[in-house]
């Protein structure tokens, strides 16, 4: 850890960090590069010792590991366990790492052999049920979103470097959407998970007139029973609601409950 | 002295996704020269089955973190072609503007952050922030502009939000579009300086005769839809994509692979220029000629220069698109979508080459079958054969271990592979 950075005159440690990716689109790591205006300031906060997508050098002496993607193969489990042994803090970066992300949609078939055959025919290919990082190792911090919001990452990483407590919003996206004075998407006939999804994205999708798909998972205070009533009142089919709820894996338990109820004999 | 080397690169750096390079040379004889793709598959084509069409752009965009806009637009085109919908002129212009800015963003990311460090003798862009601050600022400025326009038109630079079947959920701000036009004009200066910088690099003089596949322009430079052509003279229609890609599997790759008239083919900026040189705008064509990029160029390292030429092309085209958009009042952003059963195919030129999505839709608009053929998957076999030829070339040139290793890495990087996308 180097100490050549100061904050309000106090020396601040520049922790060594590494970025890693398991099964993913690598978009969350790109989001970090996508913050061109503050990128150089952000980079000066930490010392990057591993970032395969961006640099050739590869150190194993990272204190903080940011891991993107979900676990879908045995070698990924091993890599993840290795990262856990090396790092003091492991951060799950994005929805794939936190909940399995869109990758976990293949779990819904409960039939890996069919999934493999559908894409690869008879060619042998290795894969597992998709798991979030927390199913394999202890995760210290989760950064939600598909993609992650770079401003939020910078805020969280700054707090991490300064040793401040990191708090995620407890309220849903709906609050942020109202604060932005957006027209309610339900009034435009669009389904939206804003009422139940954890805030922190500043109502990114609803502000662009796309209903929330729940990529950040449920808010701690989410009232999912009420969501079903809202959807039904607005004439939105259960299929469209489930499409959104199951998309990123954050609402997996709730979706399983709805499906179980659907299958109960009347 | 006869060359011997043992190069074993696991998870090549400064590329998207996971691939390995293995080269073994003993006493001047190439024993082994391989490119391997070890990325984990995510099974998007299975994930899509049973889903309603409105999921397609949203899910398909997530195939790739760099070209999410390309995937989103390809799946939208596939659904619209399946339903028999023709986008409005306004929607087509906005989509093309969005795609151009993704191309600019992606090309700048590649040529500056992934490729340039090799030519400047460093391991990443990080040391360049100290040694070449103006160059880094210039790259960031270009990338920022492209991303800002993607935010304005698509709602978000990565995994866009406004792009839907039928058009857009909302339209960009006209005043800001006008401002972006000014920034695009100004970016031509940065691109001019970039051309000078890249001209000063010594591009390896390696050639291997290759079949290049791309969309065919009709007097213009092609980006969305149209016929498919190859430098070996194959011409096919968009819906015949499967006969252009001929996907197969091999034990060395978790990505599917492609071939056409030869044992492999190449797609991407170099393929587009090789097939559509006449469609380049005069300013872009002049740069292509200046940097020695005339059809048919068989040097894969020149793909970086081809990307630079395309940056100029898309900036100029984008300025025209904004002029055309601002010359008319806004129409409705979104058409009514009438669902019907059908098979929709889309061919779109995305940053790394031609991308195909094919969706089989039932009468309720649900996806019955999905097929996505990714640019990098079409390139993998060609990369492998290039690596074989490069190893032989290096022996002939008497290169050292370190030089061979670097050249092999640079060769793969030149293709700008998007490996997780190719395995999807």
- For residue B372, give Cα distances in angstroms to A213, A237, B48, B75, B79: 23, 28, 11, 9, 13
Instruction: Tell me which chain A residue has its CA closest to the CA of residue B416.
Output: A53
Q: Which of A140, A162, A184 is the last residue of a domain?
A: A162
Q: Which two tokens stand for residue A183?
A: 């027209």
Residues of A in contact with B339 (CB under 8 A): none
Please, which residues have CB within 8 angstroms of residue B386's CB and are 6 or more apart in sequence? Answer: B208, B300, B411
> Are A194 and A251 in a shared domain?
yes
Residues of B in contact with A119 (CB under 8 A): 41, 43, 45-46
- Whether residue A4 is predicted with pLDDT greater than 80 in this model: the reply is no
The percent of residues in chain A predicted with pLDDT above 90, rounded, is 73
d(CA B113, CA A56): 11
Mean pLDDT confidence for B311-317: 98
Q: How far is B279 from chain A (nearest CA, A)?
A: 31
> Are A109 and A208 in a shared domain?
no
d(CA B288, CA B273): 9
Q: Which of A101, A131, A162 is the last residue of a domain?
A: A162
- Whether residue A161 is predicted with pLDDT greater than 90 in this model: the reply is no
- Whether residue A36 is predicted with pLDDT greater than 90 in this model: the reply is no
Select the residue of B11, B43, B62 nearest A115 (Cβ to Cβ).
B43
d(CA B100, CA B315): 8
Instruction: Tell me which chain A residue has its CA closest to the CA of residue B333.
Output: A209
A104 CB within 8 Å of a chain B CB? no
- Is A167 within a domain? no
- Whether residue A266 is predicted with pLDDT greater than 70 in this model: the reply is no
Question: Residue A121: which domain range?
Answer: 2-162
Radius of gyration for chain A, computed over Cα atoms and rounded to the nearest angstrom:
20
Query: What is the per-residue burial (b if ≥16 Cβ within 10 Å, else e) of A70-104?
Result: bbbbeebbebbeebbebbeebbbbbbbbbbbbbbb
Residues of B in contact with A213 (CB under 8 A): 58
Q: A30 and B66: CB-CB below 8 Å?
A: yes
Residues of B in contact with A125 (CB under 8 A): 41, 254
Q: Which two tokens stand for residue B333?
A: 């952003």
> Are A146 and A192 in a shared domain?
no
> Are A109 and A37 in a shared domain?
yes
d(CA B144, CA B154): 15
Residues of A in contact with B68 (CB under 8 A): 25, 27
CB B338 within 8 Å of CB B219: no
pLDDT band at residue A5, thresholds of 50, 70 and 90?
low
> Are A141 and A179 in a shared domain?
no
- Is A53 within a domain? yes
Q: B246: phi > 0 → left, psi -120 to 50 → alpha, else beta; which?
A: left
* Rounded (to 5) percent helix, strand, coil in chain A: 40, 20, 40
Mean pLDDT confidence for B218-226: 93
Select the residue of B62, B114, B162 nearest A208 (Cβ to Cβ).
B162
Radius of gyration for chain B, computed over Cα atoms and rounded to the nearest angstrom:
21
CATH number reported for the structural domain that contains residue A52 in this entry: 3.40.50.700
Q: A52 and B13: CB-CB below 8 Å?
A: yes
Q: Around Cβ B4, how many Cβ atoms within 10 Å? A: 14
Mean pLDDT confidence for B105-118: 96
Residues of B in contact with A24 (CB under 8 A): 65, 420
Select the residue of B41, B126, B155 nearest A55 (Cβ to Cβ).
B126
Select the residue of A36, A43, A127 nearest B143 (Cβ to Cβ).
A36
**What pLDDT is recorded for position A153?**
87
**What pLDDT is recorded for position B1?**
65
Please, which residues have CB within 8 angstroms of residue B61's CB and are 6 or more apart in sequence? Answer: B68, B69, B71, B72, B75, B159, B160
Which residue of B36, B43, B133 is the best one to mutate when testing the A interface, meaning the one whose CB has the most A CBs within 10 A? B43
Residues of B in contact with A123 (CB under 8 A): 249
Which residue of A46, A55, A147 is the best one to mutate when testing the B interface, meaning the one whose CB has the most B CBs within 10 A? A55
Which residue of A105, A113, A128 is the best one to mutate when testing the B interface, meaning the one whose CB has the most B CBs within 10 A? A105
Determine the Cα angle at B212 with ends A120 and B206, to 5°: 110
Select the residue of B58, B169, B420 nearest A25 (Cβ to Cβ).
B420
- Whether residue A2 is predicted with pLDDT greater than 60 in this model: the reply is no
d(CA A91, CA A119): 32
> Are A209 and A137 in a shared domain?
no
Secondary structure of residue A186 in the 3-state scheme:
helix
Q: A30 and B164: CB-CB below 8 Å?
A: no
Instruction: Tell me which chain A residue has its CA closest to the CA of residue B123.
Output: A56
Work out the widest C-alpha separation in chain B, in whole angstroms: 72
Q: B62 and A146: CB-CB below 8 Å?
A: yes
- Is A41 within a domain? yes
Q: Which two tokens stand for residue B351?
A: 């940053």
Mean pLDDT confidence for B385-393: 98
ipTM: 0.94
Q: Around Cβ A251, how many Cβ atoms within 10 Å? A: 25
**What pLDDT is recorded for position B204?**
97
Q: Which two tokens stand for residue B346?
A: 């889309």
- What does the H/E/C string look like for chain B? CCCCEEEEECCCCCCECCEEEEEEEECCEEEEEEEEECCCCCCHHHHCCCCECCHHHHHHHHHCCCCHHHHHHHHHHHHHHHHCCCCCHHHHHHHHHHHHHHHHHHHHHHHHHHHHHHHCCCCECCCHHHHCHHHHHHHHHHHHHHHHHHHHHHCCCCCCCCEECCEECCCCCHHHHHHHHHHHHHHHHHHHHHHHHHHCCCCCCCCCCCEEEEECCCCCCCCECCCEEECCCCEECHHHHHHHHCCECCCCECCCECCCCCCCEECCHHHHHHHHHHHCCHHHHHHHHHCCCCCCCCCHHHHHHHHHHHHHHHHHHHHHHHHHHHCCCCCCCECCCCCCCEEEEEEEEECCEEEEEEEEECCCCEEEEEEEECHHHHHHHHHHHHHHHHHHHHHHHCCCHHHHHHHHHHHHHHCCCEHHHHHC
Q: Crossing angle of helices A238-245/A252-263, nearest 10°?
A: 150
> Are A116 and A78 in a shared domain?
yes
- Is A145 within a domain? yes
**What pLDDT is recorded for position A28?**
94
Select the residue of B40, B51, B65 nearest A72 (Cβ to Cβ).
B40
d(CA A113, CA A110): 9
CB B110 within 8 Å of CB B307: yes
Instruction: Tell me which chain A residue has its CA closest to the CA of residue B250.
Output: A123
- Whose tokens are 């339900």? That residue is A186
As a residue count, chain A comes to 266
Would you tell me which residues 46-75 of chain A have a C-beta closer than 8 angstroms to some C-beta of chain B?
48, 51-58, 72-73
Q: Does domain B44-382 have CATH number 1.10.645.10?
A: yes
A110 CB within 8 Å of a chain B CB? no
Domain ranges of chain B: 44-382
Residues of B in contact with A247 (CB under 8 A): 55, 58-59
The model's pLDDT over A63-76, given as tens digits with 9 standing for 90+, comes to: 999 999 999 999 99
Number of domains within chain A: 2
Choose between B281 and A36: higher pLDDT: B281
d(CA B244, CA A254): 44
The model's pLDDT over B17-51, given as tens digits with 9 standing for 90+, comes to: 999 999 999 999 999 999 999 999 999 999 999 99
| E-assigned strand segments in A138-232 | 141-143
Q: Which of A111, A138, A162 is the last residue of a domain?
A: A162
**What pLDDT is recorded for position A37?**
78
- Is A168 within a domain? no
> Are A40 and A158 in a shared domain?
yes
The model's pLDDT over B71-97, given as tens digits with 9 standing for 90+, comes to: 999 999 999 999 999 999 999 999 999
> Are A200 and A124 in a shared domain?
no
Select the residue of B141, B159, B249 nearest A27 (Cβ to Cβ).
B159
- Whether residue A14 is predicted with pLDDT greater than 90 in this model: the reply is no
The model's pLDDT over A232-244, given as tens digits with 9 standing for 90+, comes to: 999 999 999 999 9
- Whether residue B419 is predicted with pLDDT greater than 80 in this model: the reply is yes
> Are A140 and A207 in a shared domain?
no
The model's pLDDT over B154-192, given as tens digits with 9 standing for 90+, comes to: 999 999 999 999 999 999 999 999 999 999 999 999 999
Instruction: Tell me which chain A residue has its CA closest to the CA of residue B139.
Output: A36
A169 CB within 8 Å of a chain B CB? no
Q: A26 and B65: CB-CB below 8 Å?
A: yes
**What pLDDT is recorded for position A3?**
53
> Are A16 and A107 in a shared domain?
yes
Q: A213 and B249: CB-CB below 8 Å?
A: no
Select the residue of A34, A103, A120 nearest B42 (Cβ to Cβ).
A103
The model's pTM:
0.96
Question: How much is the mean pLDDT over chain B?
Answer: 97
> Are A24 and A153 in a shared domain?
yes
**What pLDDT is recorded for position A214?**
98
Q: Which two tokens stand for residue B394?
A: 């290096």
Select the residue of B49, B65, B143 nearest A27 (Cβ to Cβ).
B65
- For residue A163, give Cα distances in angstroms to A5, A65, A152, A156: 14, 16, 16, 10
């Amino acid at each position: 850890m180097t100490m050549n950075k100061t904050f309000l005159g106090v020396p601040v440690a520049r922790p060594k960090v590494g970025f890693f990716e398991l099964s993913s689109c690598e978009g969350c790591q790109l989001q970090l590069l996508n913050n061109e205006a503050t990128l150089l300031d952000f980079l000066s906060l930490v010392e990057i010792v591993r970032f395969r997508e961006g640099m050739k050098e590869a150190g194993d002496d990272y204190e903080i590991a940011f891991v993107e993607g979900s676990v879908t193969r045995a070698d990924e489990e091993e890599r993840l366990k290795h990262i856990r042994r090396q790092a003091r803090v492991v951060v799950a970066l994005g929805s794939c790492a936190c909940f399995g992300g869109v990758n976990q949609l293949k779990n819904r078939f409960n039939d890996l052999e069919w999934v493999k055959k559908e894409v690869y025919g008879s060619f042998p290919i290795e894969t597992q049920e998709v798991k979030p990082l927390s199913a394999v190792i202890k995760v210290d911090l989760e950064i939600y979103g598909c993609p992650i919001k770079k401003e939020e990452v910078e805020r969280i990483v700054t707090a991490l470097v300064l040793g401040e407590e990191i708090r995620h919003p407890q309220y849903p996206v709906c609050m942020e959407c109202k604060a932005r004075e957006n027209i309610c998407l339900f009034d435009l006939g669009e389904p939206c998970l804003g009422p139940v999804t954890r805030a922190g994205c500043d109502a990114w999708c609803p502000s662009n007139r796309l209903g929330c798909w729940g990529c950040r998972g449920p808010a701690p205070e989410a009232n999912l029973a009420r969501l079903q009533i809202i959807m039904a009142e607005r004439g939105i089919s259960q299929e469209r609601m489930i499409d959104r709820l199951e998309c990123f894996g954050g609402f997996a338990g709730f979706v399983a409950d709805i499906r179980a109820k659907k299958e109960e004999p009347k | 002295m006869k060359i011997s080397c043992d190069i074993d690169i696991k998870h090549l750096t400064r590329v998207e996704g996971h691939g390995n390079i293995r080269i073994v040379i003993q006493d001047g004889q190439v024993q082994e020269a391989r490119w391997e793709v070890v990325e984990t598959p995510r099974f998007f084509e299975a994930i899509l089955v049973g889903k309603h069409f409105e999921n397609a752009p949203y899910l398909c965009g997530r195939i790739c973190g760099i070209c999410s806009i390309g995937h989103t637009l390809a799946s939208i085109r596939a659904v619209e072609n399946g339903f028999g919908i023709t986008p409005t002129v306004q929607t087509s212009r906005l989509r093309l503007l969005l795609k151009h800015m993704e191309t600019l963003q992606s090309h700048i990311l590649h040529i500056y952050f992934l490729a340039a460090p090799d030519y400047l003798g460093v391991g990443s862009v990080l040391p360049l922030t100290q040694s070449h601050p103006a160059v880094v600022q210039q790259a960031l400025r270009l990338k920022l502009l492209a991303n800002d326009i993607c935010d304005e038109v698509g709602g978000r630079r990565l995994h866009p939000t406004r792009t839907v079947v039928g058009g857009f959920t909302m339209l960009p701000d006209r005043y800001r579009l006008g401002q972006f036009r000014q920034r695009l004009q100004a970016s031509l200066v940065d691109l001019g300086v970039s051309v000078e910088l890249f001209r000063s690099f010594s591009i390896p003089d390696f050639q291997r005769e290759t079949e290049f596949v791309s969309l065919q322009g009709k007097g213009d430079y092609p980006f969305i839809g149209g016929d498919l052509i190859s430098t070996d003279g194959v011409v096919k229609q968009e819906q015949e994509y499967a006969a252009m890609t001929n996907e197969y599997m091999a034990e060395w790759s978790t990505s599917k692979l492609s071939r056409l008239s030869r044992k492999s083919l190449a797609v991407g900026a170099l393929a587009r220029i090789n097939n559509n040189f006449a469609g380049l705008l005069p300013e872009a064509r002049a740069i292509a000629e200046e940097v020695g990029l005339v059809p048919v160029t068989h040097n894969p390292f020149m793909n970086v220069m081809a990307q630079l030429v395309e940056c100029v092309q898309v900036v100029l085209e984008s300025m025209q698109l904004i002029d055309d958009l601002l010359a008319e009042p806004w129409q409705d952003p979104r058409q009514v979508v009438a669902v019907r059963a059908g098979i929709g195919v889309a061919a779109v030129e995305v940053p790394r080459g031609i991308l195909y999505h094919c969706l089989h839709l039932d009468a309720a608009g649900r996806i019955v079958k999905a097929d996505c053929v990714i640019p990098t998957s079409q390139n993998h076999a060609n990369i492998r054969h290039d690596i074989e030829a490069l190893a032989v070339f290096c022996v002939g040139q008497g290169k050292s271990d370190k030089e061979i290793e670097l050249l092999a890495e640079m060769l793969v990087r030149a293709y700008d592979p998007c490996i997780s996308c190719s395995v999807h």
